Amino acid sequence: MQAMLLAAGLGTRLKPLTDLLPKPVVPVANRPLGAFAMDHLARAGVRSIVANTHPRPELVERILESHCPAGLNLVFSRETTLLGTGGGLRNARPRFEDPAAPVIVINGDMLFAPDLSEAYRLHLEKGAVATMILRRTPDPSQFGAIGIDSDGWVRTLLGAPSREDVTEELMFTGAHILAPEAFDAMPETGCVIRSAYRGWVDSGAPVLGLIDESPWADLGTVSDYHRVNLELASGLRRWPGVLPVAGSLLAPDQVGASHRASIRNSVVGSGVRFADSASIDQCVVWPDSVITRSASQAVITPKHRIELS
């Protein structure tokens, strides 16, 4: 199997953190955010990934390469100007290992572990041009409602067209599978939903919608980012390879440090230094930050101290 990792976004909602690092490589539980998606793709059986990059591409590529799972072939599709999800897919098309095989597409800036093996199987079995992985949410219109019929075919997109056979409206998770011929519909620039998917749904092309109830987290804002990190540190949110100890996640050089007793319920990166008597509680601390005074409910970077109520 092959996949595309969408890693070219600007992450504007996560500013000022994304002023320091592009969103796919901001540290989450002391690893780059995009590494979570690569890990899950590898566990699902994916053997090659194309990742698109735009802001600070050399940095993003270096960090993702250093965290690429063994046995996974990772190549990059740079965008000199941001092409959007549809344009990014079109631009990456020549980089895919097998042009005759479907492509799994997943965002590199969120935590989501859907059953990709089952989705891939059903995508092939049903002969879909595209398969959208969907989830239930109280207000799907907030995320752009996707309407499916009783057989799971997508009949409405963003509330249109009007259809009487829609049995449920859901939100799109950002994970989908595209048949090889789907790339013919990709725009040079722009959103894959408002271009390719709009045309498919309006014309009645076979677009499958699969409901997946796996935990999903969009780390879109600093508050979301802080919350998800602490959920991983506490064990409330689980992920393979993330192993909290006593409610915290510490980089190896922090585990035996003299300030260890000053850390409670936090995520602390490597190279962090503490002033005498400074302590932290429920904080996310980026590598090489300096804790000059005690903090609670904060995100601390080498350049920022963002306190959250």
Q: What Cα–Cα distance (Å) separates residue 91 from each residue in 87, 88, 232?
A: 6, 5, 35
pLDDT of residue 258: 67
Q: Are 4 and 105 in contact (CB under 8 A)?
A: yes
**Which of 119, 13, 137 is closest to 145 using CA atoms?**
137
Show me where the domains of the chain are located.
2-218, 222-307
161 secondary structure, DSSP code: S
What is the pLDDT tens value at each position of the chain, 309 positions in all? 999 999 998 899 999 999 999 999 999 999 999 999 999 999 999 999 999 999 999 999 999 999 999 999 999 999 999 999 999 999 999 999 999 999 999 999 889 999 999 999 999 999 999 999 999 999 888 888 999 999 999 999 988 888 889 999 999 999 999 999 999 999 999 999 999 999 999 999 999 999 999 989 989 899 999 999 999 999 999 999 999 999 999 999 998 776 777 899 999 999 999 998 899 999 999 999 999 999 999 999 999 999 997
Sign of CA dihedral 231, 47, 26, 9: negative
CATH of 2-218, one of 3.90.550.10, 3.60.140.10, 3.30.70.3340, 3.30.450.20: 3.90.550.10
CA gap 267, 249 in Å, rounded:
5
